[in-house]
Amino acid sequence: KISSSDVYSEVKALQGPSELSRDQQRTICSQLGRVKLKLLYKATVHGFTGAAFHQRCDNRSPTVSVGYNASGYVFGGYTSQPFSQSGQYVNDDQAFLFSFTGGTLKKYPVISAPHAVRMTGNCGPYFGDSLVLMDGSQPVIYSNPGAQYNFNAAEMHGNDLNLTECEVYQVEGELSKPWRTKLMESIQTYKPTVSSVSQARVLLIGPVGAGKSSFFNSINSVFRGHVTSQAISGCSSTSLTTQFRTYSLKAGREGKPLPIVLCDTMGLEDSKGAGIDNDDISSIFKGHMPDRYQFNPAAPLHDDAHGYRKSPGIKDKIHCVAYVIDACKVSIMPTKLEEKLEAIRRKANLLGLPQLVLLTKVDEACPLVKEDLRNIYRSEYIKEIVQEVSAKVGVPMSCVVPVKNYSDELELDLNCDILLLSAVIQMLRLVDNYFDELSDQLSSVELKK
């Protein structure tokens, strides 16, 4: 297990200190998971030659290569593949280039993965035909934006092509990328234990603005590979969701549907006659409500409404309920809202529906978590919120799952993905519990016959 001090990579000096600052190390590590960096090669110590670089870095992976110039620019690249002197291009869809601007990391993902890295003997780190640190064993940079990586040369290195330092770090520790892949595969290969059901149906319920629609958008983003926004979301005093929507997720743009459907509802409101009606929630639980039904707080769904399912099957019903609660508002939750949640919980209990809480906006609630999302399980403040929401909603603490939805981000974040995917895994486990209980009930009925 890596200690918290290791997360930001305590790099040991190799006859000289690392040029990469602790904050820069931490920022790079945040892109790769729970890792640390070990300094393998330092050009001013081991020599500005391809031979010295390869002697210390060949067959080591993953690595982060960093260049520095006299103009103060810090830039480089990451590859999950080991360096060699084969002269060949190497495929790496995880590779990316980066630069630091004002302390902020700018990331440039690989465009042509089959040509992500080139293994050239007389040069330093060679990223496609786009960026070379130490070209021809000289302390110079080769820069060619748009080949395998698209970047702005002036933004990356200020067009100063003279290297003052080149460092290569090996990425060590508990890599989260394989963990994210494992979680995604577990979700993609999940199969409900009831043969008549192909997709688990999870209902998202919560106050206005808690992040129900944003949660779907965030999960969708993880599987699409980029931040996307299909469901309407945003900031409003009243619910932006006015219809009952069932969202089927896909693995990639044209991939197969995932075995889970997220059902989005109108937001709960504390005032009487506003927000979703509890009778409508009962109709959703039991599978009567059709997709895209337009909510009317003044008149709940009737059995003569268009699309009303009079005889829903197990596949149409809800199999798990997820209460979406804003971590910043747990302590100030209105009494009327608590009462509405309590009424919904009683209805869910009567139907034997498993329930959990998605605790959103944890980064806004705790500065420690905002600084680094991996601090989520080390934050005493978040622990207190989990205890409080557990008591208010009436679910065990083990069923309160902290997440951070994508809101203003332009790129996916590994640590954010891990929390989101873990929440889906927890949902599927509870769905399994529901189906197991259902099977036991059916078996009991058969035995009585």
| Chain segment 116-128, per-residue pLDDT in tens | 999 998 999 999 9
Out of 148, 174, 200, a domain closes at 174
Out of 146, 174, 202, a domain closes at 174
Q: Are 162 and 302 in a shared domain?
A: no
At 336, which CATH number? 3.40.50.300
Q: ∠ CA(33), CA(35), CA(39), 5° rounding?
A: 135
The total domain count for the chain is 2
Q: Are 167 and 200 in a shared domain?
A: no
Name every residue whose Cβ is closer than 8 Å to that of residue 84 and which is 6 or more positions away in sequence.
54, 58, 59, 119
234 or 163, higher pLDDT? 163
With cut-offs at 50, 70 and 90, classify the pLDDT of residue 421.
very high
pLDDT at 320: 97
The structure tokens 């993953």 sit at 62
Q: Are 137 and 275 in a shared domain?
A: no
Q: Residue 244 in contact with residue 293, Cβ under 8 Å?
A: yes
pLDDT per residue as tens digits for the range 39-84: 999 999 999 999 999 999 998 889 999 999 999 999 999 999 999 9
Q: Residue 369 in contact with residue 382, Cβ under 8 Å?
A: yes
Please indicate, yes or no, if residue 180 is contained in any of the structural domains.
Answer: no
Please indicate, yes or no, if residue 195 is contained in any of the structural domains.
Answer: yes
pLDDT of residue 439 exceeding 50, the answer is yes
Q: Are 197 and 109 in a shared domain?
A: no
* Residue 373 Cα distances to 137, 212, 303, 368, angstroms: 40, 20, 46, 8
pLDDT per residue as tens digits for the range 209-247: 899 989 999 999 999 888 887 755 544 444 455 788 888
Range of the domain at 251: 190-448
Q: Identify which of 5, 165, 176 has the alpha carbon closest to the alpha carbon of residue 75.
A: 165
pLDDT per residue as tens digits for the range 242-291: 788 888 888 877 778 999 999 988 888 776 656 677 788 898 999 998 88
pLDDT of residue 5 exceeding 90, the answer is no
Q: Residue 308 in contact with residue 192, Cβ under 8 Å?
A: no
Token pair recorded at residue 23: 């904050």
Q: Are 122 and 233 in a shared domain?
A: no
pLDDT of residue 85 exceeding 60, the answer is yes
Alpha carbon dihedral 279, 284, 287, 293, in 10-degree steps, equals 100
d(CA 371, CA 379): 11
Please indicate, yes or no, if residue 182 is contained in any of the structural domains.
Answer: no
Q: Residue 418, Cα to own-chain centre: how many angstroms?
A: 5
Q: Are 219 and 117 in a shared domain?
A: no
